[in-house]
Chains A and B, each alone.
Chain A
Amino acid sequence: DSGVTQTPKHLITATGQRVTLRCSPRSGDLSVYWYQQSLDQGLQFLIQYYNGEERAKGNILERFSAQQFPDLHSELNLSSLELGDSALYFCASSVAREGNIQYFGAGTRLSVL
């Protein structure tokens, strides 16, 4: 168990809908990262938050947004969903220090039908 909790584990929804993925980082970790894993794109970095502030952005679509709350949990919001958004979404957390090992949650598998 990595200590990173993601909910829900599975999500099935229809095109055009909006969903929210939730992540609770390991105790003490201030950095939260979101990644998307799909068959065609592989593992792609989406966005990083550090202590409530956005720190870095990757290939995140404008339809997607994220935030980190004062209790350090994070949410990834995906809207106007398309079939191509079907993927495994990972949250990871780390202590931003030398090394910065990222520990991943179990992921949320999103299926857009």
Chain B
Amino acid sequence: AQKITQTQPGMFVQEKEAVTLDCTYDTSDPSYGLFWYKQPSSGEMIFLIYQGSYDQQNATEGRYSLNFQKARKSANLVISASQLGDSAMYFCAMREGRGNQGGKLIFGQGTELSVKP
């Protein structure tokens, strides 16, 4: 059965430093997608970054990068040069299949990141 595990309930990082949020996943489907979302205290869910299981390169979006290690089934989010506005809950999610038929997301429990000035 598909599963997402985020083992860090909470993390602190100093402003302007980099931080890595851990995510491991489990699936028997060779095709899948991995996602990270940010949920600020206001409650909305903001899409950050996507990695397909067949993508050769690690995904990057601005200050966000996804450290994809397929053999270890991990998809860690790296945020470079942390900003105060990065303080939020971060969710890792997975979708089985290529996505061309849609597909539900399975979420981890989340990691609450606090950025210190």
Contacts and interface: CB of A to CB of B under 8 A. Distances in A.
A62 to B, nearest CB: 19
Interface of B: 33, 35, 37, 43-47, 50, 52, 91, 93, 95, 98-107, 109-110
Interface in A80-113: 88, 90, 92, 94, 96-107, 109
A101 B105 CA distance: 10
17 contacts: A2-B44, A2-B47, A43-B91, A43-B107, A45-B105, A92-B105, A97-B99, A99-B33, A99-B52, A100-B98, A100-B99, A100-B100, A102-B35, A104-B44, A105-B44, A106-B43, A109-B43
A48 B47 contact: no
Contacts, number: 73
A55 interface: yes
A104 B43 contact: no
Contact of B106 (A45, A94, A99, A107): A45
